Structure 1
Amino acid sequence: MDRTPAAAANADAFLDRALLEEAAKKSGLLWVRADGEEQSRALWHAWYDGAVVVVGDGGEQPLHGLTAGSGALVTVRSKDKGGRLTGWPARVSVLEPGSEAWLGAVEELKGKRLNAPDTDTITDRWARECRVLRLEPVAGLTERPGEMPDASHAAVPMPTPATTRMPIPSGLPKLLFKRRRG
């Protein structure tokens, strides 16, 4: 068995790539921070042809800051615990609608898209209105089990007009707690 430093580095790179790929395939969400952005965004995705692919804009998830040729930092969560599992730098490229790579990526993404309003024509809508991006790993892992940063990475939630805190209707307690008459 070869124990040279070069062989050990190759084995580590192989294991890192296997962890990266398996984590991306299993996780339903990942966090992506585009170069120059302050916050990461949660994105649903698929794994296709050695990279993460995402669809966004045009009525789908926002892809702010992700442009062709730019970089991004991808963080993948653990499927069972939900915490950070691994992270890596990625190069962003835009897949052209109708190209072989775009068609393959869209087929993978269609299977991951939940509750689509137009499942029969979703491919046409994505070609017209959305961008399909490929986030290809470009270097080794920046985070891995046993080598996580000490910082919490907690972030202030993004501003939104949505709210869930409203007063309860005055008649609700009567409906919930009235006794049945026998």
Structure 2
Amino acid sequence: MTHELLDRALIEEATKKSGLIWVRGGGLPAHPGPGDEVPTRPLWHVWADGAAFLIGDGPGEQPLPGLADGGDAVVTVRSKDKGGRLVSWSARVTELTAGTPEWEAAVGELKGKRLNAPDGEAMPERWARECRLVRLEPTGATAGLPDGSLAQRPVPTSATTRQEIPAALPRLLLKRRKRR
């Protein structure tokens, strides 16, 4: 009983303090193999009422792949300051219906954490029309830390962060230094 309470406290405190959680839906094992179809994704969230709440699957919002109502998920929480893995826990996925008291309370919490929203005060109405609100409730099971690296290939995207530098750039930079 004491072990379960300590696990629950660790899950709550770590998830509350972390800005992102890594979520893999579909009830896959805690340590995935190379053939897993559903990727682990970093998702922003809010911790309230003993669960993590996520909003997504709408235009301009984060994707929530593999998080089906009544399904399972594995959540990995990282340290906010060092970025290392603190705890991995199993969760039960529940999709909330727009307009219910629980949905309203969760949206009130999420609204304050949503950065760069294009529609400001109209955001909750857009979420009700176009998005899914998901609750990840811990089932009590935590996974042990892995022996090796769980590094995965990034999700394919058309975005690029690095391109080759133009051939003339080093000469241009050296000229500027000489002038000074």
Check if 1:32 corresponds to 2:15.
Answer: no
State whether residues 23 and 42 of structure 2, in contact with CA within 8 Å, keep that contact through their aligned partners in structure 1.
yes
5+ residue gaps in structure 1?
1-9
SS in 1 for 2:102: helix
The structure having more radius of gyration, on CA atoms, is 1
Match of 2:148 in 1: 151
Residue 167 of structure 1: how far off its partner (Å): 3.5
Match of 2:106 in 1: 105
AA matched with 1:18: A
Distance 1:176 1:20 in 2: 53
Q: Percent identity?
A: 58
Query: TM-score normalised to the size of structure 2?
Result: 0.85
State whether residues 16 and 46 of structure 2, in contact with CA within 8 Å, keep that contact through their aligned partners in structure 1.
yes
Distance 1:140 1:122 in 2: 34
Distance 2:179 2:105 in 1: 62
Check if 1:178 corresponds to 2:176.
Answer: yes
State whether residues 4 and 140 of structure 2, in contact with CA within 8 Å, keep that contact through their aligned partners in structure 1.
no
Residue 141 of structure 1: how far off its partner (Å): 1.6
Distance 1:100 1:155 in 2: 39
Distance 2:106 2:174 in 1: 49
How many positions carry a matched residue from both structures?
169
Match of 1:55 in 2: 55
Match of 2:162 in 1: 165
State whether residues 48 and 104 of structure 1, in contact with CA within 8 Å, keep that contact through their aligned partners in structure 2.
no
Residue pairs, 1:7-86, within 5 angstroms:
10-35=1-26, 38=36, 39-59=39-59, 60-86=61-87
Distance 1:102 1:28 in 2: 21
Check if 1:114 corresponds to 2:115.
Answer: yes
Query: TM-score normalised to the size of structure 1?
Result: 0.84
AA matched with 1:167: E
